Amino acid sequence: GKNEYDLLVIGGGSGGLACAKEAAQFGRKVAVLDYVEPSPQGTSWGLGGTCVNVGCIPKKLMHQAALLGSALKDAQHYGWNIAQPVHHTWSVMAQGVQNYVKSLNWGHRVQLQDKKVKYFNMKGSFSDPHTVRGLTKAGKETIVTADNIVLATGGRPKYPTHIAGALEYGITSDDLFWLKESPGKTLPSFILYVSLECAGFLTGIGLDTTVMMRSIPLRGFDQASQMASLVTEHMESYGTKFLKRCFPTKVEKLKSNRLQVTWKNTDLGTEESDSFDTVMWAVGRAPDTKTLNLETVGVKTNSETGKIIVDASEATSVPHIYAIGDITEGRPELTPTAIAAGKLLAQRLFGQSSELMDYDNVPTTVFTPLEYGCVGLSEEAAVQCHGSDNIEVFHAYYKPLEFTVAERDATQCYMKMVCLREREQRILGLHFIGPNAGEVIQGFALAIKCGATYPQLMKTVGIHPTCAEEVTKLHITKRSGLDATVTGC
Amino acid sequence: MGWEEAQARGYEEFVRTAQRYHGRPIFALFCGDKDAEGRSWCPDCVTAEPVVRKELHNLPDESVFIYCLVGDRPYWKDPNNEFRRNLKLTAVPTILKYGTPQKLVEEECFKAELVRMLFTED
């Protein structure tokens, strides 16, 4: 055609890169625009998107750093002579993590070059439905035209701008992972899984950490609040402070350069304040659409969230313009779904496929100190969908073998499985709190995709001794009211 | 001032050479030793070297290109040699930007565009 490229992808993150590379496999002419607007605090990063630079990867590595701290404490019980207390140096961890992230940035650059995908480090905006204007940091302009355009610019953390001092003095996850020096005494504010995960590893490496929450933890996850409460209870018992039903009213800078945070305690109706080295906001993420110029070409967005509205084939309201990943309305904000959607989209556009992305039963895990992994419906969603009389909830409190000798508290180690009550008793959802939750849940995601039933699970032999085997032994129902504590083997 | 080339044989000489140019961007190509006829025991290094040399004019100003012969084949095959242990090299040829995770290994070194990207990318 008259357009320069077959495909232009705006956004070089999980979804964008997967889509671009897949399209290039079909021999198509593909270009990728990627640009990172520095955070208000000035933090910026390379190619790869949120996951690689300020999300999954650095988060999991820092979570691992914290877990190793716990392991060092346990080690004494297993015979190791390790002087306590053990100390952690932020800068050593940060350098290791940041170097790894940079190697991933480079790896993506090499891959794009190798697959003949044209890469522009530019911010893109629409001039017309097939034309995008790219602008470099220095202001140099390049015009790119394409038959098909995929929007994959993801999201950025929101700031509670109505709180005085929030923007000037607070940081977000964008900045946390790139700090060269320790954040010190930190206040990650509000509750989303991001803030719990960050608070978790900050506490784990020995920092004085407080989480302030206005209402309920882990909004969107298992709303019975059961799983969320267990996760936060565990964090509390391990040293994270929680200021519940409180919200900040202002942040001021002190002469010492520390930050004074003032908040309202809605329970007591009082105003309180304390000083911190770092205040981190985790109040949600906003789609990165402002500079795309979507109105010019008529791409419709959700008026409340600002996210791009797409149909089952990831198509927007404009025929040849598509959107994938965090920027899209109603989709999970996860790397694997963005990658899969991107690949399938490229296959449909250039590979004669008609397969659509299946967003059902996507497994996921929150990497808090005691991890929470789940797949399928939450208990509440199942009740809403089928009625509480038509579902059965099996549950168990268990103790990981490794916790015994180490004298670790396993009070919050818990799992529950939601099943249909009638006929073949299909498993609707599985929820697991414990070590390595992500590893445990992954395999069960396949089971649920295949329509596994409770009787099939009961016929599945467990691997001993593991935590995962307790899933195959679930038999106490919530309905029975019986004690759900697993006894020895 | 453009770029300049330095040569080194073996790990210690490489480290000394790199230290001498501390503060300037350093790129290094690691190859297997050459025999009396100037042929390396490493066939991939024989392929890579002319490709890399053709791209040297893209090096940024002030930078240094260190051409380093790592040793003979038995030395290289030893999993504990200093290049593997300290510089984390996994193969020859390797071309890297010293002090960064940016590097190209084996067949990647045969591709002129990748070498050019290594020399010119930030």
Taking any CB pair shorter than 8 Å as contact, residues of chain A touching chain B are 99-100, 102-103, 106, 109-110, 113-114
For residue A217, name the pLDDT band (cuts at 50, 70, 90): low
What does the alpha-carbon distance between residue A393 and residue A407 come to, in Å, rounded to a whole number?
30
Q: Is pLDDT of A360 > 90?
A: yes
Please list every residue in chain B whose beta carbon sits closer than 8 Å to the beta carbon of residue A36.
Answer: none
User: For A370-395, how does the pLDDT look when each residue is reduced to its tens digit (9 = 90+)?
Assistant: 999 999 999 999 999 999 999 999 99
B45 is catalytic: yes
User: For A119-164, how does the pLDDT look when each residue is reduced to its tens digit (9 = 90+)?
Assistant: 999 999 999 999 999 999 999 999 999 999 999 999 999 999 999 9
Q: Is pLDDT of A113 > 60?
A: yes
Query: Which is nearest to A16 in space by CA: A284, A288, A220?
Result: A288
Residue B103: closest CA among chain A residues belongs to which residue? A106
Binding residues of A, as ranges, are 60, 124, 284, 326
Q: Is pLDDT of A405 > 80?
A: yes
pLDDT of residue A220: 56
Check B114 against A114: CB less than 8 A apart.
yes
Question: Considering the entire predicted model, what is its pTM?
Answer: 0.93
For residue A216, name the pLDDT band (cuts at 50, 70, 90): low
B residues 81-100 near A, CB within 8 Å? 100
Please list every residue in chain B whose beta carbon sits closer than 8 Å to the beta carbon of residue A113.
Answer: 113-114, 117
Q: How far is B102 from chain A (nearest CA, A)?
A: 6
Check A109 against B117: CB less than 8 A apart.
yes
B38 touches chain A (CB under 8 A): no
Hey, which residues of A are catalytic here? 464
Q: Is pLDDT of A41 > 50?
A: yes
B111 touches chain A (CB under 8 A): yes
Supply the DSSP string of A304-331, one letter for each residue: TT-PBP--TT-B-SSTTEEE-GGGBTTS
Q: Is pLDDT of A292 > 70?
A: yes
User: For A20-35, how does the pLDDT look when each residue is reduced to its tens digit (9 = 90+)?
Assistant: 999 999 999 999 999 9
In words, the CATH class of domain A370-480 is alpha beta
Q: Are A376 and A418 in contact (CB under 8 A)?
A: yes
Please list every residue in chain B whose beta carbon sits closer than 8 Å to the beta carbon of residue A100.
Answer: 101
Q: Is pLDDT of A447 > 80?
A: yes
For an interface test with B, give the residue of A100, A104, A109, A110 to mutate (most B CBs within 10 A). Answer: A110
Q: Are A361 and A449 in contact (CB under 8 A)?
A: yes
For chain A, give the mean pLDDT: 94
B121 touches chain A (CB under 8 A): yes
Q: Please, what are the domains in chain B?
A: 4-120 (3.40.30.10)
Please list every residue in chain A whose beta carbon sits closer than 8 Å to the beta carbon of residue B100.
Answer: 102, 106
Question: Angle at Cα B30 formed by Cα B28 and Cα B34, nearest 5°?
Answer: 130
Residue ranges per structural domain of chain A: 5-156+286-351, 158-284, 370-480
Instruction: List the CATH code of the domain at A5-156+286-351.
Output: 3.50.50.60
Query: Which is nearest to A394 in space by CA: A441, A447, A455, A450?
Result: A455
Q: How far is B118 from chain A (nearest CA, A)?
A: 9
Q: Are A100 and A107 in contact (CB under 8 A)?
A: no
Closest Cβ opposite residue B114 in set A100, A103, A110: A110
Residue A102: closest CA among chain B residues belongs to which residue? B101
Please list every residue in chain B whose beta carbon sits closer than 8 Å to the beta carbon of residue A110.
Answer: 104, 108, 114, 117
Cα–Cα distances in angstroms (integers) from residue A173 to residues A88, A194, A253, A424, A483, in the given order:
20, 8, 20, 45, 40
Binding residues of A for NAD(+), as ranges, are 284
Length of chain B: 122
Q: How far is B114 from chain A (nearest CA, A)?
A: 7
Look at phi and psi of residue A206 and say left if phi exceeds 0, alpha if psi is from -120 to 50, else beta.
Answer: left
Q: Is pLDDT of A409 > 90?
A: yes
pLDDT of residue A224: 47
Intrachain domains A5-156+286-351 and A370-480 with the same fold: no
Could you give the ipTM of this predicted complex? 0.88
Check B101 against A100: CB less than 8 A apart.
yes
Check B102 against A106: CB less than 8 A apart.
yes
Tokens of A70: 């716990």
**Quick one: average pLDDT of A90-110?**
97
Look at phi and psi of residue A316 and say left if phi exceeds 0, alpha if psi is from -120 to 50, else beta.
Answer: beta
pLDDT of residue A364: 96
Check A110 against B113: CB less than 8 A apart.
no
**Quick one: average pLDDT of A222-230?**
74
For residue A188, name the pLDDT band (cuts at 50, 70, 90): low
H or E segment and range at residue A396: strand A391-397
CA A482 to chain centre: 35
Closest Cβ opposite residue A103 in set B101, B117, B121: B101
Check A110 against B108: CB less than 8 A apart.
yes
Q: Is pLDDT of A190 > 70?
A: no
Check B104 against A109: CB less than 8 A apart.
no
Check A113 against B108: CB less than 8 A apart.
no
User: For A257-267, how does the pLDDT look when each residue is reduced to its tens digit (9 = 90+)?
Assistant: 899 999 999 98
> What fold characterizes domain A158-284?
FAD/NAD(P)-binding domain (3.50.50)
Query: Above pLDDT 90, what percent of chain A?
Result: 90
Binding residues of A for FAD, as ranges, are 60, 124, 326
Q: How far is B46 from chain A (nearest CA, A)?
A: 21
Q: How far is A110 from chain B (nearest CA, A)?
A: 7
Render each residue's pLDDT in chain B as its tens digit; 122 residues.
Answer: 789 999 999 999 999 999 999 999 999 999 999 998 989 999 999 999 999 999 999 999 999 999 999 999 999 999 999 999 999 999 999 999 999 999 999 999 999 999 999 999 87
Closest Cβ opposite residue B114 in set A99, A102, A113: A113
For an interface test with A, give the residue of B100, B115, B121, B122 to mutate (most A CBs within 10 A). Answer: B121
